[in-house]
Amino acid sequence: MQNAPETSPSLVGEEYEVEVGPVAHGGHCIARTDEGRVLFVRHTLPGEKVVARVTEGDEGSRFLRADAVTIIEASKDRVEAPCPFSGPGRCGGCDWQHAKPGAQRRFKGEVIAEQLQRLAGLTPEEAGWDGTVMPAEGDKLPAGQVPQWRTRVQYAIDEAGHVGLRRHRSHEVEPIEHCMIAAEGVSELGIEERLWEGMETVEAIAASGSSDRQVILTPRPGARLPLVELDKPVSVLRVDEKDGGVHRVHGRAFVRERADERTHRVGNGGFWQVHPQAADTLMRAVMQGLLPRKGDMALDLYCGVGLFAGALADRVGDKGAVLGIETGKRAVEDARHNLQQFDRVRIEHGKVDAVLPRTGIDSVDLIVLDPPRAGAGKQTVRHLASLGARRIAYVACDPAALARDIAYFAESGYKPRTLRAFDLFPMTHHVECVAILEPVKKDA
């Protein structure tokens, strides 16, 4: 009879007095105990001295996760968290409620720079970046004020039907009365004021380009849908517990969003940038970087409902062409609907690395790619580099994935021309980047 494998003693609950080092990717800072153990500490800032309480890890762990539960020496960048539901062990939706807005952007810049250096071997200057992270229009507020930017909020519901948000790295629900970063169009629905018995999640969507409002209900197994009566008119959809599909209950199955002076249909809770300024901000950065010309052939990869494909189609003219590729079936339907006035646009359904080789395309002028958080990957990057585009725009929501893929592009003869970073997720550790890549000039 085999003995059960030995487990290392848990260190959860242990406390260490530490001096806090630099910010790290993921919304925490790095510290070390006197014994040299690495701690990833949330709710602290670089340069502080704190008592950190371990939340994850044991004697055999490579690193420990912890919360700063006592601030012994505070940073000048610290503010009292405006949100009453943030803090150690509480809501995990925000990472930097306790930091001044300017400091948050500086931390995000430090993370981008660290990832570029570590994964791509580039300094900010070599990446064509001035080191700044730009706030979205209207988001530059005094310390203590919070931008109401989140147009899509997925509320977690506890077993009693109370509304909350998930705690950090946990399925546990932190009950809340109001989410401070929720857009006004979400808050005015009054979701937090009601009981949602039998529901697992309630997602609220407030389109920034129209008055469309939508809730998507995920029932617990066997539960019946409630009668949805909110403070504003809404469409209601539900997630099917068998296939995970989203189905209309009543009202429209889509919301209408505006960007680039065009209305975009986004159905069944499909992807659209969450910050109300994000779609136009990123579209402008991409077009300013690519400088499309009449007659260009362009690719829009991971194209969603067609934001960049439409912007490209406008600019390449009747003699140009745009191919979009997207994995989401409903997003493809929406993209084809949104771009139906452009004969020169084609949208294909499937994975980029499977569909693109089948098209037979061996040469293009411009490429836009906006991959999921994991990035595009070496195989896809190699294929894209082989197409000889004069410029490639890479839109990234994760600086680590961006840096890895920039390194792959470098292996295939492309380097960054410019990089811009935008703080489109205030109070969180997330940041959006747009890198413009071009072929390395070969010596004559």
Is 83 designated active site? Answer: no
For residue 8, the model assigns a pLDDT of 85
Residue 40 pLDDT grade (very low, low, confident, very high; cuts 50, 70, 90): very high
Q: Which residues contact 43 (CB under 8 A, 6 or more apart)?
A: 67, 68, 69, 87, 88, 98
Residue 443 pLDDT grade (very low, low, confident, very high; cuts 50, 70, 90): low
> Mean pLDDT for the chain?
95
Would you say residue 149 has pLDDT above 90? yes
Would you say residue 3 has pLDDT above 60? no
Q: What number is the average pLDDT over the span 177-190?
A: 97
> Which one of the listed residues 91, 303, 397, 433 is annotated catalytic?
397
For residue 444, the model assigns a pLDDT of 43
Q: How far apart are the C-alpha atoms of 144 and 83, rounded to whole Å?
A: 9
Buried b (16+ CB within 10 A) or exposed e, 47-81: bbbbbbbbbebeeeeeebbbbbbebeeebebbbeb
- Starting at the edge strand that comes first in sequence, how are the strands of the sheet with 235-239 ordered? 173-175, 163-166, 152-157, 199-206, 213-219, 235-239, 246-250
pLDDT digits (tens, 9 = 90+) for 294-322: 999 999 999 999 999 999 999 999 999 99
Q: How far apart are the C-alpha atoms of 187 and 173, rounded to whole Å?
A: 19
Per cent of the chain over pLDDT 90 is 93
Residue type, 397: C
Would you say residue 76 has pLDDT above 70? yes
Residue type, 286: V
| Residues 128 and 120: beta-carbon distance below 8 Å | no
What tokens does 134 get?
């730009």
| Residues 300 and 322: beta-carbon distance below 8 Å | yes
Q: What number is the average pLDDT over the span 105-124?
A: 98
For residue 124, the model assigns a pLDDT of 98
Whole-prediction pTM? 0.95
Helix, strand, or coil (residue 193): helix
Strand-pair category, 38-42 with 235-239? unpaired
For residue 121, the model assigns a pLDDT of 98
Q: How far apart are the C-alpha atoms of 6 and 93, rounded to whole Å?
A: 35
